[in-house]
Structure 1
Amino acid sequence: MAEVKEVIVSRAAIAGHPLHPMMIHFPVAALLGLVATDIAYLMLADPFWARASLWLAGVGAFGGWVASLAGLVDLLTVSSIRRKITAWCHAIIAVMMLSLASLNWLLRYAGPEQGMERWALYLSLLTAALIGLAAYLGGRLVYEHGVGVDTR
C-alpha cells in the first residue's frame, strides 16, 4: 500500500497554485544573466553591458524580494512548512542571496566608473551559486516534502 503524504497547501496561492514558485523565474533569470553581462562588460568595455548589468541586477534583486514575500507568507503561516529544516535553510540561503544581489545593484548604481566591475562580477558569481543552492532546497521542498502539491 502506498504511503499517504500530508497535503501541504500554500496560503499564498491563486486557485490552489502557489505564488512563490511562479514568481521566482524572472528574478532568477535576471541574476543568472547578470553573470554573462558582467563578463561581456569586462571583456569588451562596452557601456551597453554595464547598463544591461545594472538593469538585470535591479530586476533580479527587486523581483526576488517580491517573490520572497509569497514564500515568507507560506513559511510563517503554514505550520507544517515551518517544521521543516529544509524550508528554513531555503529561506536563509535566499535572504543571503537577495542581500548580495541588492548590494550588487547598489554598487552598480554608483556607476561603472567607480572601479567596482570585478567586485560586481564576484558578487554575481556568488549570487548565482547561492541561487543554485536555494533552487536545490526549493526542489526538495516540492518533490520530497510535497510543499504546495496536492497529492490527493
Structure 2
Amino acid sequence: MTTELNYMISKQLHALIADEPNLIAILSNASALINEQFDDINWAGFYLWDEEQDELVLGPFQGKVACVRIKNGSGVCGTAFNEERTIIVPDVHLFPGHIACDAASQSEIVVPLVKNGKKIGVLDIDAPVKDRFSEKDKEVLEELAAVLLQAII
C-alpha cells in the first residue's frame, strides 16, 4: 500500500466519522471503508469487549457471517486483545487455537483497540490468501485504529 493510498484512507475515515457520536455508525463505515480499500480480503470488522461476560462480541463488519463471541485470550482476536498488541498471522492454520469462522480465510491481522488504558475491542481482517498482511498494512491499520479511537468514547 502506497503512502498516498494510506493518506487517502485516513482522510476518508476522518470525513466519514467527523461529528458522528454513534459508535455503531462509526465502526460500520470504518469496516466498509477497509473492505473497499484493501485488496484480497474476505472479512473486515470489529469485535467489542463485553466486560461482564469476559469476551469479545461481534460488532459491525463486512463479509460472511461470523463467530459471535470470542473468549478473552482465545484465537487471534482474543490473543491480540489480551496482549494489547497487533498480531499478523501469515497462515491461520499454524496459529494455535485459531477460531475458523470462514474456512476460506488463510491469513489474518488483528489490531487491538485500547484508549487511555481501557480495552474497547479489536479490528479484525481476514484474507483468502496466505501471507496477505505486511508490516506496512500493520502501520496503516494501526493509524486507522488511532483515528477511530480519537472519535469514540
TM-score by length of 1: 0.27
Larger Cα-atom Rg = 1
Which structure has more helix as a fraction of its residues? 1
TM-score by length of 2: 0.27
